[in-house]
Amino acid sequence: MTHPLRLDPDRYFPSDATQRQIAGELFAHVETLPIVSPHGHTDPAWFAKNAPFEDAVSLLLWPDHYLLRMLMSVGVTLESIGIAPNDDAEYEKDRRVVWRRFAEHYRVFRATPSRLWLDHTFATVFGLDVRLEAATADLYYDTIKAKLAEPEFRPRALYERFNIEVIATTDTAIDPLHDHRAIRESGWGGRVIPTFRPDEVLDPDHADFFSSLEQLAILTGENVETWPGYLAALANRRAYFREHGATATDHGHATARTCCLGLGEAKQLYDRILLNRKNEGDGELFRAHMLIEMAKMSCDDGMVMQLHAGPWRNHNLQLYRRFGWHKGGDVPTATDYVHGLKPLLDKYGNDPKLTLILFTLDETAYSRELAPLAGIYPAVKLGPPWWFHDSPDGMLRFRRATTDTAGFYNTAGFNDDTRAFFSIPARHDLARRMDCVYLAELVATHRLEMEEAAELARDLAYNLAKRTYRL
């Protein structure tokens, strides 16, 4: 026995008739707007090479750490779904068997955003009309395999079908951006731009720090063994990224700490790091100082600065040791923005040249720290609910907690932040609907007029992302 898969046209809207009606009217204004995706993790090689995707397992399951983590948490081992460990333990090699295992456990995703995104993808991209479960696993596997072989399912065709206006990838500071160059030179009309993410070269505790520095020297011709040379190399790479279309940088830090060292102190700290004579705390100090250097460079070159603070990467140690990064083993930590960002904001918080977009995994910061900071510092804007909070309830909590103090116009619009290319329409559909739900609540309770809500719906779905990211 199977179950139908259908996307209700009123999905996510409240059941209250008044609000549902208003939400639907508002959504009609934004449903077909082009997708602006200013922050995410798609692979530029897809668009450069335009090769077909392989199958459901390698496309939809393996790269999606939301799926891996939930499956693990209910006792499904990664080996059993085909992920090879670093040791020589057995793992499942038959992808059809892997997909069946996933299908059998699909119920554990009930009411999670993963389920909503996947169902939307299955229905709208692949035309499936029955739910994924044990009984339909093979149908899914075969259908998806067949579709992926069609030309309409190549990356560029999907980019167009998804109505994407611009999409940003995320790239290390030492990425040569060959794929971005190839896309540009191909004559194809899609706009795929890089984002400058220099974590490896800013974080002396990163395993790849020294090798990345070497690469940085090679790519820029700067002498990174001196502090001025290091800064010049970074500025050089930022310029290179801008030449390739980048408008933004992105910084993934465990904390929001910033610190403004004097020139002498900064030099000495850099020397200690290069000589492998770090004192305790030097790593954190360097990262803290470098955020301010990055803000300074953003004032100079106009790149929008994003800060994703708070995750404890690879908290699940055994998982990390056996399977490496990006398997879902990260967890959030409490994050202090009010103290952490003070040194940066003292210098650049009021500078009209800086745009600093903040993200958090700690929802308690929404009303206590982030909305108040965005509501007073011209530089600060709030990124959309991130990661664990990118869900219907998470989005409503974000709006309800930030709008009183920061309003709508200090928020940065939506970004999908995903490597799951096929789910991008689902994610924007969900975000647009939830913003309409929030707006409908305001209109229905006479806190906002309908004509204002309609303008806001378009701003939140499209205009704010373009404007904030200077696209």
Instruction: Restricting to residues 355-384, name those near a second copy by CB under 8 A.
Output: 361-364, 367-369, 371-378, 380
* The only residue of 94, 243, 346, 353 in contact with a second copy, by rule CB under 8 A: 346
* The only residue of 50, 80, 112, 236 in contact with a second copy, by rule CB under 8 A: 112
Tell me the H-state helices in 149-177.
Answer: 155-161
Question: By CB under 8 A, is residue 316 in contact with a second copy?
Answer: yes
CB of 349 to a second copy, least distance (A): 7
* The only residue of 82, 204, 283, 329 in contact with a second copy, by rule CB under 8 A: 329
CA–CA separation, 450 and 225 (whole Å): 59
Could you tell me the CA-to-CA distances from 314 to 6, 24, 65, 324 in Å, in that order?
37, 41, 12, 8
* The only residue of 45, 139, 182, 448 in contact with a second copy, by rule CB under 8 A: 448
Element of type H or E holding 279: none
Element of type H or E holding 467: helix 464-468
CA–CA separation, 378 and 390 (whole Å): 25
**Cβ closer to a second copy: 210 or 388?**
388
CA–CA separation, 133 and 99 (whole Å): 10
120 close to 429: Cβ distance less than 8 angstroms: yes
Only segment of 111-119, 153-161, 221-229, 267-275 that touches a second copy (CB under 8 A): 111-119
Tell me the H-state helices in 154-208.
Answer: 155-161, 178-185, 199-202
Binding mask 392-431 for a second copy (x = CB under 8 A): xxx--x--xx-xxxxxxxx---------------------
Only segment of 171-179, 236-244, 249-257, 316-324 that touches a second copy (CB under 8 A): 316-324
How many residues bind a second copy (CB under 8 A)? The answer is: 91
DSSP 379: T
Question: By CB under 8 A, is residue 34 in contact with a second copy?
Answer: no
**Cβ closer to a second copy: 117 or 240?**
117
CB of 192 to a second copy, least distance (A): 30
Question: By CB under 8 A, is residue 258 in contact with a second copy?
Answer: no
Exposed, middle or buried: residue 35 (CB in 10 Å: 0-12, 13-18, 19+)? buried
Question: By CB under 8 A, is residue 298 in contact with a second copy?
Answer: no
Residues 6+ apart with CB under 8 A from 67: 60, 61, 102, 109, 114
Give, in degrees to the nearest 5, the angle at Cα 33 between 37 and 438: 85
136 close to 130: Cβ distance less than 8 angstroms: yes
Question: By CB under 8 A, is residue 86 in contact with a second copy?
Answer: no
CB of 364 to a second copy, least distance (A): 5
* The only residue of 59, 319, 344, 436 in contact with a second copy, by rule CB under 8 A: 319
Other Cβ atoms within 10 Å of 39 Cβ, number: 27
**Cβ closer to a second copy: 44 or 328?**
328
Question: By CB under 8 A, is residue 24 in contact with a second copy?
Answer: no
